[in-house]
Structure 1
């Protein structure tokens, strides 16, 4: 049937776009304009991080959390995709609804996970910075902070890169931690503070 051929082409294109979107997050733009691929295991292996040498302050100037609205919209979009996949499946198609169902589940679970996570994602004070990956780092331990702007659809996405004086031994040119500021609230106050 011709509709099956069209669906097969669309499925291949959708898989290619999906792989591109997943792999795009592992490529980071450096301040000099070059792109560097950062494997996910690089960020997950916290054993290579140097230990913090300073005490965490009692109070922070800014504490940033995941944005409720973005996580809520992702959850709603995932539920909508799941509903649309059920509607298309009832029309007699198989491949497209399966793809939409898987993608909708992924979007919904990602949104719910961010919506439920109420732990701080970034803490800023005059004496240092705290992230879930690095913990608290004083200004003396931090070599550089840089905010890189990427285009995400029509709106910019701000990414904070943190470089320590004692970088991870394997990849000294890469940041020790990256954090998307666009998905945090209050994003503007964080950018102005840094």
Structure 2
């Protein structure tokens, strides 16, 4: 059902979460829940995965996660600033989670040139068990999905039957899983 490299990346995240007794929550926009689907394809993931908010539109980002309208108006949803607010917002909304990751971007087609293929991924962490202490940002990256697609294991062969958008989704889902795994190493 999924490419083996994605299953492997998801399994690495699951192993790292379990070894460190951490619980993960996600906020996904341009991947539309793909990372959550990958994780939930693994037996036993419920021990360390809380869920995922698929927040595709501005209004949903604001109402579900507390992303500020000013952030979206000034930076748009394809920005580090929005990814940051998504990661911290989903973590605040999920008290049992200790780690969060969020992705937002524009995978095309018909994207504005400055946003075409651009994704932003943020990872947040709850450093204290006291929920009154705000979570902290671990990392936030802006990445070009085509560079990830070309450099990574996504098969860009046109005979695969995947659209450019689908190839980009696979590449950025893999990158998001890698950034989660990296955050768990720190």
| Shorter-chain TM-score tier | under 0.3
TM-score (norm. length: structure 2):
0.25
Per residue, is there more strand in 1 or in 2? Answer: 1
The structure having more radius of gyration, on CA atoms, is 1
